[in-house]
Each structure stands twice: as C-alpha cells, then as structure tokens.
Amino acid sequence: MSKHVRQEDEGRLPKYYSISQDVIRLIRSGKLAPGMRIPSENQIIEQYGVSNTTARKALQELTSGRWVVKIKGKGTFVHGTGVVRSVDRILSFTRNMTEAGFKPSTKILHQSVLRKGYSALINGRRYSMDGPVLKLHRLRFADKIPMMLEVRYISLALCPGIEKTALTESLYDIYRNKYGHELTEIHQMLSTYMIESEAATFFDLHGPVCGLLVDGVTFCGREIILEMEKSIYRGDRYSFAVRAMYPTTDEPMAL
Amino acid sequence: MSKHVRQEDEGRLPKYYSISQDVIRLIRSGKLAPGMRIPSENQIIEQYGVSNTTARKALQELTSGRWVVKIKGKGTFVHGTGVVRSVDRILSFTRNMTEAGFKPSTKILHQSVLRKGYSALINGRRYSMDGPVLKLHRLRFADKIPMMLEVRYISLALCPGIEKTALTESLYDIYRNKYGHELTEIHQMLSTYMIESEAATFFDLHGPVCGLLVDGVTFCGREIILEMEKSIYRGDRYSFAVRAMYPTTDEPMAL
C-alpha cells in the first residue's frame, strides 16, 4: 500500500530506477542481508508488472552500484556491505578500501588537543593515554560514498608535531614513515549502534540504519599505547570477517 | 512494520526510545555501572524537556529490557547484563555464558531435515554442505533473558542420528563426546541486522534494536564442514572482542 504511494511520488523517475531503489531500501533496512538472494529478473517482471528490459536495467543499476553481485547459474546476491573487513588483520582503512577495489578519500571534520589525555573501557578493561592527545575527527569515503566516521586519539608524546601535518592519508603510514613506529597489537570492541540524527546526516542516510561501533586501542610496543579510536562503520555497507582456529592464541580451547 | 516505515519517513525514532538508548549507551560505556542509580522520571522530564508520559515510557523500555531494576521507594538502578564475546576463540554459547556468570538455557523452536543440503555466502566465498542436513532453530537464554536466535545446519553424514537426541545443550559437546569430532576452524561473517517484527517478538523487544548477524561455517578437519550457522545476537546485550597482532596469520601485514 505504501509502496503504491511511493511509486506515484516517484512517477517521474524511470521505472527501473524505482525498482532498484526499493531493493536498496530493503538492503539498507537489513531485511535483505549480505549474502541473501534478491528477486530474479522473472520475479521482478511478475511483481512489478514490467518488461524484461526494465527488470534487467533495475538489476544492472544494483550491480553497477555494487549493492549486489551476480553469480552465474546461482542468482544475484546482496553484496550490500560492499566491503568486508578482516578483524584478525592490522589493516588501515586506506588499504582495506584499495583491496576492495574502491578509491578511498578522507575529510577532516575537526581536530583539537586534549591536555588531560583520554581513556575508555574496552572489553571490560580501562585503557588510558596521558595528555597531550590529538583528537582527530574524520569522515572516510570509498568512491565518494561516506563509509566510516572516526575519532582517533593520538599520543602527541609519541608523535610530536603530528597535528601540524596533513592528516587526510593513512595515519598508520604516518606513524611508520614519519615516526618509525611499528604497530604490534590492536584490541577492539565491536558493538552495534543505531545511526540516526546527526550521525545519519554525515552518512547521507534518511532513516535509522544499524552501524558497528568500534572502540579500539593500538599498541606500538608492549603496553605502549600509540592511539585509541572510536569509529562508526555503516552497517549497510560493511561486514566483518572473523576466523578462529584451534589452538586459539594463549587461551585453552573452550568447547 | 508500518511503525518502522513511519519512523523511516520521519527520519528519527520515538523520543522515549532515543532517551532509553541514551541510557543504554551510558551503561555500555561503563559510565553507568551496575548498581548505580539512573535518572528519575522528574530528571528525565527536566533534562529532555519531555512529558511525564514520555519519561515513564523511556523508563519502562529500560525496565522491560532488564537494563535497570526499579526498587520501590529507592529509585531505579542499573542491572547490567552485557556480555562480551571473543571472536578469536572457538567458544560455545553455553561456555561463553557460564564464564560471564549467567545461567544458560535453550529452547528449541523448530527442527527439520534438509534433503538437498545447505549453502551460504560467507566473506565472499560460497560454502556448501551436501544433504541430508539437520536444520535446528533455537533460542538461547542467559538467566532467562533471550540473548541469541540461531539456526544451525548440521551434517547428518558426520553426525548420524543427532536429530533423535536431546538438543538443548551445547552442540559442540555433542559433536565431541558423542561423535568424536574436534573443531579445527571457524569462519564467520559479522553484519548488522535491524531486529524488528517477528525476530523482536522472540527477544521480547518493543522497538527496533540493532542486532549482529553471524554467518558461520565450522570445520572438523581440512575442508570438512561439520556445521554452518546463521545467528542473530541482540546488539543491546552483546559486544564482540577482537585482537589482531603483528605478524598476522599467513597474510602480509597491511599498513
């Protein structure tokens, strides 16, 4: 019923475009999750009462927008996320996007120096950085699509003068190339986060969408905290890949 | 459903819901710790400029979600029942809950045999199991709070007769003790999922809540798939813990 109203509202747009927008809405709402099959050409023809040319164009629109991927002889599946992030690799956004075939870019939203330092609770443990700490708020893009909103807290004791350099590139590169710091370990806590109001504006989202909140701490040596972060990944574009193997790290295997 | 559409059109969630989410965020960040008093009805009215009906609904939302407990004549206090799940350990729900201090239990919702097998796309790769496969739909509880809704797809070739056994305990225990299968590796894909309508009913949720969707494949030997799963973890109760170290697995470190 609301679909009918929506179609009338969009009456001036090409039919194939309205259909593709319907599917994108389902992907964004999570009703069509990554890996799920989307309606076939024949199902679109039947459901919307359109020609096969229109149905095919709708599917092409979704494919070219990287919302879905067509697998020969199997069907068309939600790509949705566009990006899979491996959580067991120390990987910069820049490299992650490049590997996924996107062109990364960055917009700095705000930066300031916290004299008193920063601390956060991650996986039940409190991690603290002494001041001064550079608080850097950035929006990260892939092919001009806003993907991730991040706040990085960088030790100015370990990276003196970093606040005066250009900070639109990979910070990991700057840490290594300019300061000689090699990352040794990352601890992160992944939680869900309803992206709405102000955050939704940054992502150019119209309704509330699930996001992944990452609270992280990065070490460049035993117990030496180089930076901490608090980032929001949009859940309609991202999924996280995990592998666990036996034996697992230093803990006994718990069956 | 129609409620969700209306919210999307408005681009925001009901006021009482946003207020309850604010409090949940404080609980999760550790700023409001278990046993601490949360704002009273009057404080909410004053702080947010809302009606007493809205303030009461926000408190009801928190109470029914068991985030807080109301003590007559004393106030409302943080109950605190979050769980951290380590993604780099092969860990059963049962053991995870026991370690977190909760009493786990399980309700079987449905079970059936899939003659044709099962397949799913996980982190860009398609994994397939030949039939027959036992499809087992269960709801998992911690201290009687519904925490996770899961569908497990179990190889009946590797676990003959498992469909006739009691399946309310840890499947990992059954695989090992009854069939002698040791788990060797797990690949999982974590995505966000808006929990609403039917799924929300299982979790006894009143508004849409972000969830974590886990698509997984479990091996009990090189390329031998023992089971696959599709589970929804409620995002208001769960966070996932991740560690990445240098050098990382078999891949070169990507800075």
pLDDT in tens, A5-55: 344 444 467 888 889 888 887 876 667 877 788 999 999 999 999 999 999
Query: Which of A6-15, A72-81, B69-78, B243-252 shows the highest mean pLDDT?
Result: B69-78
Quickly state the pLDDT bin for B19 (edges 50, 70, 90).
very high
Strands A185-195 and A118-122: unpaired
What does the longest C-alpha to C-alpha distance in chain A come to?
A: 65
Q: Do B188 and A31 touch (CB under 8 A)?
A: no
Mean pLDDT value across residues B55-63: 90
Which chain A positions have a beta carbon within 8 Å of B180's beta carbon? Answer: none
The answer to whether B189 contacts chain A (CB < 8 Å) is: yes
Q: Do B187 and A92 touch (CB under 8 A)?
A: no
Res B151 pLDDT > 80 = yes
Q: Do A184 and B246 touch (CB under 8 A)?
A: yes
pLDDT given at position B87: 76
Which of A93, A98, A99, A190 is the best substitution to test chain B (most B C-beta atoms within 10 A)?
A190
Strands B185-195 and B209-219: antiparallel
ipTM rounded to 2 decimals? 0.72
Spatial CA neighbour of A231 closest among A205, A211, A246: A211
Residue A162 tokens, joined: 């970093």
Q: Pick from A95, A176, A186: which is nearest to B243 by CB?
A: A186
Mean pLDDT, each 10-residue run in order, chain A (255 residues): 40 79 78 81 94 93 78 75 70 83 91 95 87 96 89 97 93 94 90 86 83 92 92 87 65 33
Mean pLDDT value across residues B210-233: 92
B184: nearest CA partner in chain A: A246
B213: nearest CA partner in chain A: A33
Q: Which residue has the higher pLDDT, B123 or B129?
A: B129
Length of chain A: 255
pLDDT given at position B4: 41
pLDDT given at position A2: 40
Terminal CA-CA length for chain B: 44
Res B168 pLDDT > 50 = yes
Contacts of B149 (CB under 8 A, 6+ apart): B138, B139, B140, B199, B202, B203, B231, B232
Mean pLDDT of chain B: 84
A220-226, long-range: CB < 8 A, 24+ apart:
A220/A158, A220/A175, A220/A181, A220/A182, A220/A183, A220/A184, A221/A184, A222/A184, A224/A158, A225/A127, A225/A128, A225/A129, A225/A155, A226/A154, A226/A155, A226/A158, A226/A159, A226/A175, A226/A181, A226/A183
Mean pLDDT value across residues B156-180: 94
Res B6 pLDDT > 50 = no
Mean pLDDT value across residues B41-63: 93
